[in-house]
Amino acid sequence: MTNLSTQQPYCTIINQQHVAVVVFGNELDEWMDYAMDAGDPFWYILGTDAWFEEQMMDGQLSLVARTYDETYFHCPIEPRVIELLKNENGIIVLFPKFPLKAEDIKQTSDLEELSHWMMHEIGEENMDGLIYCFYTEEDKKKYHGEDV
């Protein structure tokens, strides 16, 4: 059996349109308590509770998962990811309970179809998914002031 806690989170683009981060283990379990149902195929986390932002980490452009108090992890990204996020502002975060490669994620622009794939082909007991906000520097100032 593969130890998921040793697998690093990674960022991928689904169908050239949606930014997704795949997180293994229980790295973001405490965030699940903040999930809200918007009636969409995925629940979401309010950007006032937790969010993703871009930062340079060790000389590499990275996507960083954080709250006011803590930085949880970061994963390297390409500049194209930031361009997509400036238009979309949401990140699909997948929590598989098995090793999941980027090329194995269903390529679709339809979030309902992606949710169906997760629930019926993968099995809802094998993977969760949430939508998180992506904040630019301007967004952080707007929603969080100078606190972060």
- Confidence check: pLDDT of 148 > 70: no
- Confidence check: pLDDT of 89 > 90: no
Query: Of the spans 22-36, 39-53, 74-88, which averages the highest pLDDT?
Result: 74-88
* Contact of 63 with 75, CB cutoff 8 Å: yes
Mean pLDDT of 37-52: 79
Task: For residue 9, name the pLDDT band (cuts at 50, 70, 90).
Answer: very high
3-state secondary structure of 96: strand
- Confidence check: pLDDT of 139 > 70: yes
User: Whose structure tokens read 């707007």?
Assistant: 142
3-state secondary structure of 18: strand
CA gap 84, 51 in Å, rounded: 16
- Confidence check: pLDDT of 79 > 80: yes
